[in-house]
Amino acid sequence: MKEILEIIWYIFLTVTALQLFFWGIFFARLVFGKQQKNDISELPGVSVVISAKNEYLRLKKFLPHILEQDYPNFEVIVVNHASTDETEYFLKELNLKYPHLKTLFVQDEINFFHGKKFPLSVGIKSAKNEIVLLTDADCYPASPNWIREMALGYLNKTQIVLGYGGYEERKGLLNKLIRYDTLKVALLYFSFARWGLPYMGVGRNLSYTKSLFYQQGGFMSHYKILSGDDDLFVNKAATSTNTKFVISPAAKTLSMPKTSFADWSYQKRRHLTTGIHYNPLHILLLGAIEISNLLFYITLILLLVYNIQLYFVLGFGALIIINHLLIIKKFSQMIDEKKLLLLLPLLEVLIVLIIPLLTILNGILKHRKWK
C-alpha cells in the first residue's frame, strides 16, 4: 500500500504542475491579457449562411433577429434542406419584406455527403461576399451588432474569425451543466487561438472567407465524417497567422439548449467523435489538459483520505481550485455568461466524470443519423 500511495503522490505532483501551467499561464493569457481591438475604415460585405431542415418554428422566431442586424452591407442566405414543413412558404413571405434575404432549396444531400455539409457548401458557393458568417437555424444574435463585431475581427491576413456560441439560460441543473460545458470548450479553443494554435470553432458562430473555403476544397477532406463542418474545417485550415477570435457579449449567438440529459449527451457524443481527427499536436495538448484535470481530482481525494502530506496537498489543491475559479469568473464576465460560479465545483466534477464516460460510449454505441 505504501508503494501505491507513493505512486499516487508523484502523479499528484506531476498533474498539479500541469494544472498550474494550464490555469496559471495558458488560460490566464487569454482572460488577463490585452484584448486586441480592430478599427477599420470600411466595413466589408458579409454573407450570413444558414442551413435549415424542418426548422419553420425556429426560423420564424430567430431569423428576423439576423435579418434586422445593424450593418450596412450584408445578405442572409438560408438553404432550405429538403424541408417538409412550412419552411418554404415562410421564407417566401420573408423575401417580400427583406430584399437582402436569399433562399435556396436543395432536395437532399448527395450520396457521399451527410448532415449540413452539402447544404452549407451550396450556400457558401452562392454567397456574393468574400466574408461568410455561419450560424444555425436554432440560433440568434445576442445583439443587433453581431455581424459588425464579427466583421471587425478581420485584419489584413485574417481568413477565419472564431466566435462564441452560447445557450439560453433556463432553470435547472442540466441547463447550467450545458452552459458550463460550452463555456469550458470556448475557453479552450479561444486560448489555443491566443497562443497561435487554433484547432476548432463552432458552427453556431463562425466566420471565414469564401476564398479559403475554395482553397481547402470545401469539406471534401472530411466528407465521410457526419459532423465536423465547423471544427474539422477550422482544424485543417486555421494557422497562427490567418485566425482571429472575437470575445464580446455583442458578438455571441444564443441557441436553444437541450432539455433532457439523453438528448444533450447524444449531442455531446456526436461532437466528441470529431476530436480523434484533429491535428496530433492538438490531440496531445487537449489530452494533457483533460487527463491531468481528471487525475488531479482523483489523486487529491485519495491523498486527503489517506492523510498524505496533508498541508501540502491542501495548499496546492486550494491554489489550483482558486485559480480555476478566477479564470472561469473572468471569462464568464467577458462573454456575459451568468449564474454559473456558485455551482462551479459541482459542475466541474460532473463534467470531469461525464466526458470520459461519453468518450467510452462512443467506442461502444453506434451513432444514429441526424438531420
Q: What are the boundaries of each domain within the chain?
A: 46-173+198-258
Cβ pair 186, 100 in contact under 8 A: no
What letter does residue 130 receive in the DSSP assignment? Answer: S
Q: Is 99 exposed, middle or buried (0-12, 13-18, 19+ CB in 10 A)?
A: exposed
Hey, what's the cell of 219? 469539406
Cβ pair 210, 196 in contact under 8 A: no
Give me the pLDDT at residue 35, please: 73
Hey, what's the cell of 348? 466541474
Pairing state of beta strands 243-245 and 160-162? parallel
Give me the pLDDT at residue 134, please: 98
Q: For residue 43, give the 3-state DSSP assignment.
A: coil
Give me the pLDDT at residue 229, please: 83
Nearest to 180 by CA among 355, 357, 356, 341: 341
Give me the pLDDT at residue 117, please: 87
Cβ pair 189, 73 in contact under 8 A: no
Please tell me the pTM assigned to this model. 0.93
Q: Residue 109: CA atoms inside 13 Å, Cβ hemisphere, count? A: 20
If DSSP states are collapsed to H, E and C, what string results for 232-266?
HHHHHHCCCCCEEECCCHHHCEEECCCCCHHHHHH
Give me the pLDDT at residue 3, please: 87
Cβ pair 240, 198 in contact under 8 A: yes
Between CA 86 and CA 54 the distance in angstroms is: 8
Hey, what's the cell of 360? 467510452
Nearest to 67 by CA among 32, 96, 33: 96
The terminus-to-terminus CA distance of the chain in angstroms comes to 53
Return the amino acid letter for 10: Y
Query: Mean pLDDT, consecutive 10-residue segments, the chain of 371 residues?
Result: 90 96 96 76 92 95 97 97 93 95 84 75 96 97 97 91 97 96 97 97 97 92 76 95 96 96 91 88 94 94 93 94 94 94 90 89 63 47
User: What's the CATH fold of domain 46-173+198-258?
Assistant: Spore Coat Polysaccharide Biosynthesis Protein SpsA; Chain A (3.90.550)
